[in-house]
């Protein structure tokens, strides 16, 4: 059934979704992206929906160009998960103490650590000094943010970011989290998006949010430098967070102890240099993961519908990509108007989580059906494990 061609697109645009199910604004956005002269092709995944700059759930292969707004403001946002040797029968009936321990260990929302986390105590000491030396080379506009950036390492943020305790089909307990490059990534992105919009070659674009940097220019060099650093910051943020969550979780099982597998981690808002159709391209994944043959990935649903651990099948058609999640089926504003706290309570029954007005926009009903999203990309990934959350921490 899939993929299908997007009608009216200037460049090759293959979709793992029915055109009739995608909102018109998102289709228009996809056609705008495909019309850029630097675009080789666009791939659209089943979690597709309207985004800022570029459509969420899209993969854009460009010749020697990158659109910073297409990457987005949460540079390097992604997922990490780790399997434990704890089973369902080991879990207590009351999961609130586990949630409390996680929330005490990891600041959420706008909160941050009082001081930078001692990564050495977490066994994460490699490369940090060199990484922070790179801060001085970033755009001068963010230099005053170094202390804040350090204290935000190991923090969750808000929106659709989460930390979960999940059960797999075999009753093994997994820990999973979703977060990105926090405020420093946002500030770097906004700075470069503003610069790109002012460049002469972008003045005639159908959508100024698709302004690009071109290879060989100082603006591209500066963006690639800051982008690479922010992507690493996001990965390190998740590494610290998962270590804190593992420690907090283990505290709940001090008598038996907890063993952990190696974590699985993947970006889903990022740029990589890859060979596409025999050519070197700059590939932007906006709400999409790499699904090369054998690549392990994580595709979450919503706070009440479960998630998937997958293995990539290496599809050349999809530019070796898969969806990053279920994808929203309505905006946050619409969700807040349509649903109530009572709806949230009903749709997250059995999950130890916040159940208040502050997270109604994250209600499962605001998202697409994760099982259908996985089924639509059966040629892109194979399922390793299906997880259902029993604890969900939100910002």
Active site positions, annotated = 324
394 is in an annotated binding site: yes
303 is in an annotated binding site: yes
163 is in an annotated binding site: yes
Q: CA geometry: angle at 272 spanning 51 and 138, to 5°? A: 85
300 is in an annotated binding site: yes
201 is in an annotated binding site: no
302 is in an annotated binding site: yes
249 is in an annotated binding site: no
135 is in an annotated binding site: no
| Cβ atoms of residues 55 and 63 within 8 Å | no
160 is in an annotated binding site: yes
Dist. CA 6–CA 14, nearest whole Å: 6
Alpha-carbon torsion, ordered 328, 333, 334, 339, to 10 deg: 100
268 is in an annotated binding site: yes
146 is in an annotated binding site: no
110 is in an annotated binding site: no
178 is in an annotated binding site: yes
161 is in an annotated binding site: yes
129 is in an annotated binding site: no
Closest CA to 268 of 109, 47, 35: 47
Can you say which residues are annotated as belonging to the binding site for Mn(2+)?
A: 74, 161, 178, 268
Can you say which residues are annotated as belonging to the binding site for GMP?
A: 160-164, 268-269, 300-303, 307, 324-327, 394
Can you say which residues are annotated as belonging to the binding site?
A: 74, 160-164, 178, 268-269, 300-303, 307, 324-327, 394
């Amino acid at each position: 059934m899939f993929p299908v061609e997007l009608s009216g697109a200037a460049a090759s645009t293959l979709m793992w979704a029915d055109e009739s199910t995608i909102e018109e604004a998102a289709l228009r956005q996809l056609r705008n992206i495909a019309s850029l002269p630097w675009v080789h092709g666009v791939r659209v995944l089943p979690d597709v929906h309207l985004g800022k700059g570029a459509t969420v759930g899209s993969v854009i292969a460009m010749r020697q160009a990158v659109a910073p707004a297409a990457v987005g403001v949460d540079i390097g946002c992604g997922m990490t998960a780790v399997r434990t040797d704890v089973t369902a029968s080991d879990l207590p009936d009351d999961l609130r103490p586990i949630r409390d321990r996680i929330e005490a260990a990891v600041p959420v929302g706008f909160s941050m650590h009082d001081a930078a986390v001692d990564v050495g105590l977490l066994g994460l000491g490699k490369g940090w000094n060199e990484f922070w030396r790179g801060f001085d080379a970033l755009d001068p506009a963010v230099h005053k943010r170094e202390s804040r950036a350090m204290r935000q390492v190991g923090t969750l943020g808000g929106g659709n970011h989460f930390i979960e305790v999940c059960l797999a089909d075999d009753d093994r307990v997994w820990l999973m989290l979703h977060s990105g490059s926090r405020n420093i990534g946002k500030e770097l992105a906004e700075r470069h998006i503003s610069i790109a919009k002012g460049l002469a070659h972008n003045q005639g674009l159908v959508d100024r949010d698709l302004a690009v940097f071109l290879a060989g220019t100082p603006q591209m060099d500066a963006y690639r430098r800051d982008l690479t650093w922010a992507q690493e910051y996001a990965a390190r943020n998740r590494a610290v967070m998962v270590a804190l969550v593992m420690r907090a979780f283990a505290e709940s099982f001090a008598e038996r102890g907890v063993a952990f597998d190696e974590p699985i981690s993947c970006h889903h808002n990022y740029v990589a240099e890859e060979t596409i159709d025999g050519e070197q391209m700059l590939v932007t994944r906006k709400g999409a993961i790499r699904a090369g043959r054998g690549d392990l990935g994580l595709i979450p649903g919503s706070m009440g519908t479960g998630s998937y651990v997958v293995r990539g099948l290496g599809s050349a058609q999809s530019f070796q990509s898969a969806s990053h999640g279920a994808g929203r089926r309505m905006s946050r504003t619409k969700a807040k108007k349509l649903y109530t706290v009572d709806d949230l309570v009903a749709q997250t029954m059995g999950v130890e989580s916040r159940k208040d007005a502050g997270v109604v926009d994250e209600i499962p009903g605001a998202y697409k059906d994760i099982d259908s999203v996985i089924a639509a990309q059966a040629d892109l990934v194979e399922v390793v494990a299906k997880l259902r959350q029993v604890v969900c921490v939100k910002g």
